[in-house]
Every structure is written in structure tokens, then in C-alpha cells.
Amino acid sequence: MAYRMILNETSYFGAGSIHHLIDEVKKRHFKKALVVTDKDLIQFNVATKVTNLLDEFGLSYDIFDEVIPNPTINIVKKGVEIFKQSGADYLIAIGGGSPQDTAKAIGIIINNPQHADVRSLEGAINTEKPAVPIIAIPTTAGTAAEVTINYVITDEENKRKFVCVDPHDIPVVAIIDSEMMASMPASLKAATGIDALTHAIEGFITKGAWELSDMMHLKAIEIINRALRASVKGDPKGVEDMALGQYVAGMGFSNVGLGLVHGMAHPLGAFYGTPHGVANAVLLPHIMEFNAESTGEKYRDIAKAMGLNDVLNQPIQEVRKHVVEAVKQLNKNVGIPERLRDIGVKEQDIHELAKAAFEDVCTGGNPREVNEKEIEMLYRHVY
């Protein structure tokens, strides 16, 4: 059996690590950046931490700040035009998954213009050329888009969110500076943090998992479980640990895939604009329950990573219940709603949602085989 591992060329970690940006730009002889971000990050002086640094060192850049959560095909197309007009030769992505993913799509299309329609990038495709070099600076903890080979774009016309998997989109440099994340409101820390936990758990039990990815996912579960509550309360050490935990999860899942939680979360983003982390968080414990019987002894490893030492020697059926309960408790502690009805899902859409989830790229990685009818049942169960 042969396995593949793709990671960033260079990554920096820790509070204050953003200053490494300047050396990296100079060392690589980049001339001009297009900074891809969103308006809130400019307004809250998050993106400006980076542009101030560029100003200080006289490095040239333009800004594209029109990204919105669940970024659309039209936003990508606009970004491509702005990149062409700017004469930039590299991208700096500043933000959560939405600006990161938009920058990836822009970078890929600039060097592979036959995909200018954006839709043709869906799924696992091999583009001819690597994206324009991307320096990724995440501001949520999170999607780990800075280390993944994936990006997710919303097709508004067809009410779909589609995943693109392409090794050519991975940022060359990632700077994971928790000071860029500290300004997140508690609810955003909670939602993006449970997104990261979902990556770690789905990546650990997905069909393609193997020993090296297991190592990353178990460590990520441990860090996130330890740090998320503190991070949500505003503890800087908690935020710094979450920055690392989400990255470690990304190193894993990007290389092995995810599962049904993400498959069912994506349609919620497409139909209602549900924040990605919230959609995952509400679904996670229920899908874990559904998957339990197809995961062998793996929930015992998760229990260990979550510090559930008292239950480790119980029969696996019992351990599974405790693990699901611990995830529910974590959700509760950080303020995640319990039901899909609480986050704006409409019962009459469930049939259509199930169709879309069944077709999602992530669903194929789920450890338990699932059909459209079962997905519909699961949506109704969580509703």
C-alpha cells in the first residue's frame, strides 16, 4: 500500500510569528501581493496588522476584500480579474476559511485559465500547473485551509457548495499566529473550534486513515479538547493551543479525507448560509453515534485522547456512548445549539438536503456506508 503526504513548504507558529512574513517575501523575490481578505477583518484591524507590516517594509500590494462567508463562484471570478489588473505575482490570504479558499481558487485559475468557469474545479482534479504562490495567514482556528489541499466554493445558482481537492492549491508558506485570531468573538471561536474537532474525529475514522494520519488526528483531538473551552473564555494560551490543534488536524485530514458530518454540513451552507463550524458542530455527536458500529476500537483511542480515563477499560459499546456524550458536553459548554431547527434549517428542505449531502465529495470517506434515505433520516433525527 502506498500513501501520500502533502504539507506546506514552510510554516511558522506561535503568538507574534507574523513578522516572519517579511523575510519569506524577500527570500522568494516576490514583487507584489494581492491581499485576499474580507471587509470585517479590515474594519476590526486584523488584516491591517499584516498590511501595516508590508507598509513598514515598503512591500507592494493591492487588496481584494470582497470575500464573504461561504464564498461564491462570482467572488472568485471577481478576484481573478482584480489579480490580473493588479500585476501581482503572489497572494497573501488573510482570514478564516473563506478568504483562504477564495485565494486558492484565484491562484489556481490564474495559472490554469481553462478553469475560469470555477465549476470545473470540483472534486479531485489534477490541474496542470501549481497555483500562484500563496502565503496563508489564518485568523480563525479553524478550517486549517492554510495547510490543506482543499477549498470549498458555493454555487449560488444551483444552491450547492462544492469541494475542490487539488495538491496544486496548497499555500507555500503558512503563518499560524494566534494574535491574528484573538479578536474572534466567543461564538466564532466555538464554531470554528468544533469544525477543527470534526476534522480530527472524521479524519481519524475515515476510510483512508493510516498510522501517520492517526498520529496527527489523535494529537489534534487531545489539544482541541484541552484548549477549546479556555480559548472561548478568552485565555491567550487557549487561543494559541487552538491555533496549533486545528493545524495538526489539517495536516491529517487534508491527506486522508473526511466523512458524513462534512458531507451533511456543506448543503446547510449552500441553502441557508449556515456558518460552516456551526453546521458541523450540531451534526457531529449524532453522526458519531451513527458511525460508531463501523469504527472498531477507534472510539477507545478517542476517549483516551479526550482524557476520559475512567471509561477506558469498559466494553467498547460503553466507551462509544461516553465519547459521544463528551462531545455533546463540549458543544454545550461552548454554546453550540442542539438542533438543526435552532439554526434555521427548514423541515421541508430535508429531502433536497439529503440529495446534496449524498453527492458531496466528503460523504464517500465515511466509515459507515450510507444511502440517501439514511441521510434524510439523520437530518430528521437532528432536526
Ligand X SMILES: NC(=O)c1ccc[n+]([C@@H]2O[C@H](COP(=O)([O-])OP(=O)(O)OC[C@H]3O[C@@H](n4cnc5c(N)ncnc54)[C@H](O)[C@@H]3O)[C@@H](O)[C@H]2O)c1
- CA nearest neighbour of 271 among 192, 346, 182, 358: 346
Quick one: what does residue 169 bind among ligand X, Fe ion, none, with the CB cut-off 5 to 8 Å set by partner type? Answer: none
d(CA 246, CA 168): 21
User: Which residue, 88 or 251, is less far from ligand X as judged by CB?
Assistant: 251
CB of 180 to ligand X, least distance (A): 6
Residue of the chain from 79, 95, 285, 365 that contacts ligand X (CB under 6 A)? 95
Are 69 and 273 a contacting pair, CB within 8 Å? yes
Sequence-distant (6+) residues with CB within 8 A of 26 are none
Using CB under 5 A as the binding rule, the residues of this chain from 191 to 210 that contact Fe ion are: 195
Quick one: what does residue 14 bind among Fe ion, ligand X, none, with the CB cut-off 5 to 8 Å set by partner type? Answer: none
| Cell, residue 297 | 476500537
d(CA 340, CA 82): 38
User: Which residue, 234 or 296, is less far from ligand X as judged by CB?
Assistant: 234
CB of 36 to ligand X, least distance (A): 11
**Which residue of this chain has its Cβ atom nearest to ligand X in the complex?**
97
| Binding of Fe ion by 146 (CB under 5 A) | no
CB of 219 to Fe ion, least distance (A): 18
Q: Choose one: 28-36, 187-195, 353-361, 368-376; the region binding ligand X (CB under 6 A).
A: 187-195
Strands, E, within 160-282: which ranges? Answer: 160-165, 173-176
CB of 296 to ligand X, least distance (A): 26
Are 259 and 227 a contacting pair, CB within 8 Å? no
Residue of the chain from 60, 62, 69, 338 that contacts ligand X (CB under 6 A)? 69
DSSP symbol at 130:
P
Cα torsion angle, 49, 53, 54, 58, sign: positive
User: Which residue, 51 or 254, is less far from Fe ion as judged by CB?
Assistant: 254
Sequence-distant (6+) residues with CB within 8 A of 76 are 102, 105, 106, 109, 118, 153
Angle at alpha carbon of residue 343, lines to 341 and 345, rounded to 5°: 55
By residue count, the chain amounts to 383
| Cell, residue 74 | 462570482
CB of 333 to Fe ion, least distance (A): 20
d(CA 383, CA 367): 23
- Contact code string over 166-185 relative to ligand X, x by CB under 6 A: ---------------x-xx-
Angle at alpha carbon of residue 367, lines to 363 and 372, rounded to 5°: 40
What Cα–Cα distance (Å) separates residue 325 from each residue in 187, 266, 284, 322?
A: 21, 24, 11, 5
CB of 322 to ligand X, least distance (A): 27
Q: Choose one: 35-43, 129-137, 305-313, 368-376; the region binding ligand X (CB under 6 A).
A: 35-43
CB of 100 to ligand X, least distance (A): 6
Q: Choose one: 15-23, 48-56, 148-156, 291-299; the region binding ligand X (CB under 6 A).
A: 148-156
Phi-psi region of 297 (alpha: psi -120 to 50; beta: other; left: phi over 0): alpha
**Which residue of this chain has its Cβ atom nearest to Fe ion in the complex?**
195
State the residues that interact with Fe ion by CB under 5 A.
195
State the residues that interact with ligand X by CB under 6 A.
38, 40-41, 44, 46, 69-70, 95-99, 101, 139-140, 142-143, 145, 148, 150-152, 181, 183-184, 188, 192, 195, 269, 276-277
